Structure 1
C-alpha cells in the first residue's frame, strides 16, 4: 500500500508540474503563439493616405510571405487613439509592435509602456527624437537630410551654381520639414552665388503650395528655382507658374517620387524629385520586427532605405516600380 501511495503522489506531482509549465508558457508575451506564428501589432497614423497605402500593402505582403500574423490598426491621425491602440497590443501580448507615429513628439508614452511590458518596438517612416530613439529596437525609413541634399545638389547643377531659390517647407516642426530643409540649405551654403530669397510652409499640401507660389509671383521677386519639401507642394507651384506663364523660367523640384509627380517629371514640368520607397520601408519594417521578436541583435539601430534621385532621364524606371506595386 505504501508503494501505491507513493506512486499516486508522484503522478499527482507530475500533473501539477505539467500544468504549471503550461501556464507559464501561455503567459509569456514574447514567444510564438499556439499556431506557431509570431504576432506583430502595427499602429499606423491614418489609412486614408495614398503614399502610406503602399507602405501598408507592402507590410501585409511581407507578413504573409514570412507567415506572420500582422494586426494593423488606424489611429485616424489621433495620437491619443494611437496610444490606446498600442496599449491594446500590449494587453494582447503581441511579440513586437511597429509604429508609424501620428506625431513623433507624442510617441514617448507608447514606447515606455511597451518597454515595461518587454515588447520591442520598431518605428517606421517617421523618425522620433534622439531621446525616444534610445527606447526602440530600430528605426526603418529614409534619411530626410539625404533627400534635401540630393535634390538641391541637382538644382544647383542645373542652375550652374548661381541663382535665386525659393524653398517650400512642409509642416513646421516635422522631422521631414526640418531635415529636408537643412539638406537644401547645406548645399546653398556651398554655392556662394546661390541665394534663398523666399522660404515659407505649404504644409505638404498641393493647394497650399499653389497659393504660396501665387503670392511669390505677385511679389515680383526674381526666382530661378522652387525647391519643395515634397512633390505635392511642387505640383502646386507648377500649377501657379503655368497659369502665370512663367514655368519655362523656373526649375521646380520635389521629393517622394509619387505616381502623380512622375507624370510631371515625364512631361518635363517637374525637373527633379527624390524617390522615397514605401514598398521598401514597409517590407523592411516587418522583417526588422521579426528580428526584434526573436531577440536578434542589430549592428545599427537605423535601417535605412535610401532615397533615389529622379530626373527625366531615368523617370521610366520609377514609373515601372509603381506599376509593379499596383499603382495607377
Structure 2
C-alpha cells in the first residue's frame, strides 16, 4: 500500500473514531440530563428548630424535598444571626445550588444576602420578611402577607361587634414586620368603622405570659373594652386567660392570628372568637418549589410568593384542626 493510500486510510479512521466519540458524548450527555442528572442541593438555614410553628414548616420542606428528589441540608441558627451567617458561608463553601433562609432577625440579614450575591448562588427567603429593599436583592420571598392577617382579623371582629365598640390591640415585638403590618391592617379596618375606636395598646413581645400581665393591668385600670385583638395567638390566649380569671371573658371578644393548634381548641370551645390561619405547611412546600426554580434558573414574574391567610371561627375550626393533625402524620 502506497503512502498516499495509507494517509487516506488513517484520515478515514480518525473521522470514524471522532464520529464515534461524538455519538458517545451525546449519549452520555442525554443520560446525564435525564437518567443521571445531578441532584439539586438546597442549603436551608433556619432560625430555631425548637419553634413550634417553624417545626411544621421545616417538616413540610423535608417532605416536599423528598418528593421532588432534591437534597436538603438543614441547619439551626438557634436564633443567632451571626451563627446563621457562618452556616450560610459553610453552605457556600460546600457548593450548594440554592440557599433557603428564614432569618432570626430579618433586619440583620444583609450580610447573608451579600454572601449569596458574592458567591452567585440564588437566595430564597421564607416566613420572616425583611424590607422591600432587601427582597429586591434576592431571588424570592415566600410567606404570608402580614397586613392581610391584621385586616382579616379586624374585619371579623368588627362583624362580630356589629361595627361598634372599644378595642385594645396587643402588639408583638415592636419593629417586627409582622407587628407593624398586622397592626396596620387592624387600624385600617377600625378607621372605616366610625363607631369603633382603639382605647388601649401595648406590647407583649409575642408571649402569652406577657399578654396576660398586660391585660390584667388594663382590667385593674378600670378601662372598658369590647374586644382585644392580638398580633398572634399566644398573646390572644394570654389576654383570654386574664379576662377569664377576672370573670370578664363573656363580655370581651378576643381574636388572634396564626391559627395554632392551642388556639384552635379555644376557638372550638368558644373562649377565643377568631384567628387568621398562617399555613406553615404551604409555606414550606412553596419554599422548596421556589428554590428548585431558582436552581434551574427560572425567572419569576413576582419576587413575592404569597401564601394567603384564612379566617378561622367556631363555624369552620374543625377544618383547621384537621390540617394540623394531617401535618403531624
TM-score, structure 1 normalization = 0.89
Q: In the aligned structure 1, how far is the partner of 2:288 from the partner of 2:258?
A: 21
The aligned residue for residue 21 of structure 1 is none
**Matched-pair contact (CA < 8 Å) for 2:150–2:231:** yes
Matched, 1:74 2:91: no
1:222 Cα deviation after fit: 0.5
Q: In the aligned structure 1, how far is the partner of 2:118 from the partner of 2:129?
A: 21
Q: 1:127 aligns with which of 101, 120, 129?
A: 129
The aligned residue for residue 230 of structure 2 is 228
Q: In the aligned structure 2, how far is the partner of 1:233 from the partner of 1:57?
A: 25
- Structure 1: 5+ residue runs without aligned partners? 15-30
- Counterparts of 1:193-208 in structure 2 under 5 Å? 193-208=195-210
- Counterparts of 1:287-306 in structure 2 under 5 Å? 287-306=289-308
Q: In the aligned structure 1, how far is the partner of 2:156 from the partner of 2:204?
A: 22
Q: In the aligned structure 2, how far is the partner of 1:198 from the partner of 1:292?
A: 45
The aligned residue for residue 93 of structure 2 is 91
Could you list the runs of 4 or more consecutive aligned residues of structure 1 that deviate by over 2 angstroms after TM superposition?
none
Q: In the aligned structure 1, how far is the partner of 2:207 from the partner of 2:151?
A: 21
1:131 Cα deviation after fit: 1.4
Q: SS of the residue aligned with 1:211? A: helix
TM-score, structure 2 normalization = 0.89
1:35 Cα deviation after fit: 6.6
Q: Give per-residue Cα distances to partners, 1:274-321, cap 9 Å, x unaligned.
A: 000000000000000000000001111111100000000000000111
- Counterparts of 1:1-328 in structure 2 under 5 Å? 36-326=38-328
The structure that has the greater radius of gyration is: 2
**Matched-pair contact (CA < 8 Å) for 2:136–2:303:** no
Q: In the aligned structure 1, how far is the partner of 2:144 from the partner of 2:137?
A: 19
Q: In the aligned structure 2, how far is the partner of 1:174 from the partner of 1:182?
A: 12
Q: In the aligned structure 1, how far is the partner of 2:274 from the partner of 2:263?
A: 9
1:116 Cα deviation after fit: 1.3
Q: In the aligned structure 1, how far is the partner of 2:52 from the partner of 2:113?
A: 27
**Matched-pair contact (CA < 8 Å) for 2:190–2:196:** yes
1:65 Cα deviation after fit: 0.3
- Structure 2: 5+ residue runs without aligned partners? 1-6, 19-32
Calculate the aligned-residue CA RMSD, in Å: 2.2
Q: SS of the residue aligned with 1:36? A: coil
